[in-house]
Amino acid sequence: MQEVLASPCEIHCISLPTPFPVGDVNVHLVKSEKLTLVDAGVKTIEAWNHFKNELAKLGYTPEDIDQVVITHHHPDHVGMLDYLSPELPVYGHRFNQPWITKNSSFFEHHDQFFYDLFSKLGVDGIILQKMNKLRKTLAYSCERSLSYEVKEGDTIPGLPGWTVLETPGHAQSHIALYHEGSRVLLGGDLLLGHISSNPLLEPPMDGEERPKTLLQYNESLRIIRDLQVKKVYPGHGNVIENASALITERLHKQEKRAEIVVDMLKEEPLTALQVCQKLFPLVYKKELVLTLSETLGQLDYLMEDDYIKMETVDGQWVFKTR
């Protein structure tokens, strides 16, 4: 059968500044039956002015935008929702909701989750300091609600041919938009060309069980690889044309890091924090949540495949080889 490659529509990438170490963030303007903005930058006047200038170069103003889709709840992807018309329909996964509405009971639950988890990982007094850091990044986020919740397999009005894929791991709320006819993906932070995306720790959104974010993330990557996506428009950095090869490389690199962790644990049993300190000796203090997310991801990965086991000693999790 002959392969049919339909053109998905016009996609314009607009890069916007952020105050975060990740650097610029991309938002995408998709011109189809409706003019759709995919992701919405950080909430800074600098980003907003930049956005308006770039829109003007394309012949648009913010008032021309018909709807917004957000790939996940991180501040660099949602902040400017506060500057856009409150009438604009906003689409996203339901797990965005407590973050973007700044739900105070959710944040209490969030802090308690991290307090309990970090104690088990071997972290002590610096926890509260880190929580303050989260609060600081939330200043760049928005305070508004989704208009419509979307889930796996959904379509969005005005975007014919595009389907929602649930791709958790980097965030529990993460989705991507896939155009099957042309195998083009609006990927959010699922796959970035120049850096690895981080499987960030988050509290459970449904039920009690902690999401194993690296396992989720690897599964999301495999789904994209199996689709043989031709082009990924990412949330940061340049368009990715070799997604399948890049995913294979990333999964391989991750296996290698897991092997390093097994070797460490062969020498002596360690807490997650001790593994983290050995994996990231220079950055773990400054980026504790990021590096512990990565570390616990590695440990989850090894536990899943039965390479290591865990015991609780004095309230802390101690990992050792089998």
Tokens of 237: 């950095």
Taking CB under 5 A as the binding criterion, the range among 28-36, 56-64, 69-77, 87-95 that sits at the site for Zn ion is 69-77
Of 147, 16, 27, the residue nearest 87 (C-alpha)? 147
Taking the complex as a whole, the smallest distance from the CB of residue 93 to Zn ion amounts, in Å, to 13
CB 81 within 8 A of CB 142: yes
Taking the complex as a whole, the smallest distance from the CB of residue 23 to Zn ion amounts, in Å, to 12
Taking the complex as a whole, the smallest distance from the CB of residue 241 to Zn ion amounts, in Å, to 22
Closer to Zn ion at the Cβ: 192 or 275? 192
Could you give the string, one character per residue 267-286, with x where binding to Zn ion holds by CB under 5 A and - elsewhere? --------------------
Closer to Zn ion at the Cβ: 36 or 198? 198
Of 116, 123, 127, 40, the residue nearest 76 (C-alpha)? 40
Among 28, 43, 73, 74, binds Zn ion (CB under 5 A): 74
Closer to Zn ion at the Cβ: 123 or 200? 200
Taking the complex as a whole, the smallest distance from the CB of residue 322 to Zn ion amounts, in Å, to 35
CA-CA distance, 46 to 155, in Å (whole number)? 33
Cβ-proximal residues to 190 (8 Å cutoff; 6+ apart), any chain: 71, 167, 169, 170, 174, 176, 197, 220, 221, 224, 232, 234
| Count of positions on this chain that bind Zn ion (CB under 5 A) | 2
Taking CB under 5 A as the binding criterion, the range among 188-196, 221-229, 280-288, 312-320 that sits at the site for Zn ion is 188-196
Taking the complex as a whole, the smallest distance from the CB of residue 72 to Zn ion amounts, in Å, to 6
Taking residue 126's Cβ as centre, other Cβ atoms within 10 Å add up to: 11
Output DSSP code: residue 232. Answer: E
Closer to Zn ion at the Cβ: 201 or 308? 201
Q: What is the 3-state secondary structure (H, E, C) of 162-198?
A: EEEEECCCCCCCCEEEEECCCCEEEEECCCCCCCCCC
Taking CB under 5 A as the binding criterion, the range among 185-193, 267-275, 280-288, 296-304 that sits at the site for Zn ion is 185-193
Taking the complex as a whole, the smallest distance from the CB of residue 78 to Zn ion amounts, in Å, to 10
Shortest Cβ contact with Zn ion: which residue? Answer: 74
Taking the complex as a whole, the smallest distance from the CB of residue 31 to Zn ion amounts, in Å, to 25
Which residue carries 């998905």 as its tokens?
A: 8
> Cα torsion for 258, 261, 263, 267, to the nearest 10°?
-160
Closer to Zn ion at the Cβ: 170 or 183? 170
Closer to Zn ion at the Cβ: 27 or 273? 27
Taking the complex as a whole, the smallest distance from the CB of residue 64 to Zn ion amounts, in Å, to 26
Closer to Zn ion at the Cβ: 166 or 189? 189
Taking CB under 5 A as the binding criterion, the range among 70-78, 216-224, 273-281, 296-304 that sits at the site for Zn ion is 70-78
> Cα torsion for 14, 31, 70, 197, to the nearest 10°?
-50
Q: Is 189 in the site for Zn ion (CB under 5 A)?
A: yes
Taking CB under 5 A as the binding criterion, the range among 67-75, 177-185, 256-264, 287-295 that sits at the site for Zn ion is 67-75
Taking the complex as a whole, the smallest distance from the CB of residue 140 to Zn ion amounts, in Å, to 12
DSSP output for 110-132: HHHHHHHHHHHHT--TTHHHHHH
Per-position b or e across 37-53, b if 16+ CB within 10 A of its CB: bbbbbbbbeebbebbee
Collapsing DSSP to helix, strand or coil, 237 comes out as coil
Give me the residues that bind Zn ion (CB under 5 A), please.
Answer: 74, 189
